[in-house]
Amino acid sequence: MRAAVLTGPGAVEVTRDWPEPECGPDDVVIAVRAVGVCGSDLAVVDGKRAVPHLPWALGHEAIGDIVRVGDNVAPDRLGERVAVEPNFPCLSCPACDAGRTAVCPKRRILGINEPGALRERVSVPARFAWTAPAGLGDEDLVCVEPLAVALAAVARAGLTAGERCLVVGAGAQGLLVCLAAQAHGAVPFVVDPHEGRLATAAGLGAAAMPDGMDFPVVFETSGVPVALETAIERCGPDGRIVLIGQSAVPARLSTFAVVQRRLTLLGCLIYDHPADFAAAVDRAAELRPGRILRGRYPLARAHEAFAQARELPGKTWITFEHLEEHPR
Ligand SMILES: [Zn+2]
Ligand SMILES: [Zn+2]
Under DSSP, the state recorded for 231 is H
- Of 121, 132, 146, nearest to 27 (Cα)? 121
What separation in Å is there between the alpha carbon of 97 and the centre of ligand 2?
7
**Residues that place a CB less than 5 A from ion ligand 2:** 89-90, 93, 96, 104
Indicate which ligand has the atom closest to the C-alpha of 104.
2
Indicate which ligand has the atom closest to the C-alpha of 101.
2
d(CA 212, CA 129): 46
Indicate which ligand has the atom closest to the C-alpha of 40.
1
Indicate which ligand has the atom closest to the C-alpha of 94.
2
Domains (range + CATH), the chain = 3-143+289-325 (3.90.180.10), 147-267 (3.40.50.720)
Indicate which ligand has the atom closest to the C-alpha of 90.
2
Indicate which ligand has the atom closest to the C-alpha of 116.
1
Which pLDDT tens digit goes with each residue over 199-225? 999 999 999 999 999 999 999 999 999
How many angstroms separate the first and last alpha carbons of the chain? 24
Q: Going residue by residue through the chain (328 aa), what tens digit of pLDDT does each one get?
A: 999 999 999 999 999 999 999 999 999 999 999 999 999 999 999 999 999 999 999 999 999 999 999 999 999 999 999 999 999 999 999 999 999 999 999 999 999 999 999 999 999 999 999 999 999 999 999 999 999 999 999 999 999 999 999 999 999 999 999 999 999 999 999 999 999 999 999 999 999 999 999 999 999 999 999 999 999 999 999 999 999 999 999 999 999 999 999 999 999 999 999 999 999 999 999 999 999 999 999 999 999 999 999 889 999 999 999 888 888 7
| pLDDT for 284 | 98
What is the three-class DSSP state of 35? strand
Half-sphere exposure of 106 (CA within 13 A, CB side): 9
- Of 96, 111, 99, nearest to 55 (Cα)? 111
Strand 187-191 and strand 315-319: the pairing is unpaired
Under DSSP, the state recorded for 178 is H
Indicate which ligand has the atom closest to the C-alpha of 171.
1
d(CA 141, CA 202): 23
What separation in Å is there between the alpha carbon of 208 and the centre of ligand 1?
25
Check: CB of residue 293 under 8 Å from CB of residue 139.
Answer: yes
What separation in Å is there between the alpha carbon of 10 and the centre of ligand 1?
18
What separation in Å is there between the alpha carbon of 13 and the centre of ligand 2?
33
Residues 6 or more apart whose CB falls under 8 angstroms from that of 24 comprise: 70, 123, 125
| pLDDT for 325 | 85
What separation in Å is there between the alpha carbon of 7 and the centre of ligand 1?
21
What separation in Å is there between the alpha carbon of 128 and the centre of ligand 2?
15
d(CA 256, CA 96): 36
| pLDDT for 322 | 86
| pLDDT for 289 | 98
> How much is the CA Rg of the chain, to the nearest whole Å?
19
What separation in Å is there between the alpha carbon of 63 and the centre of ligand 1?
13
What separation in Å is there between the alpha carbon of 262 and the centre of ligand 2?
33
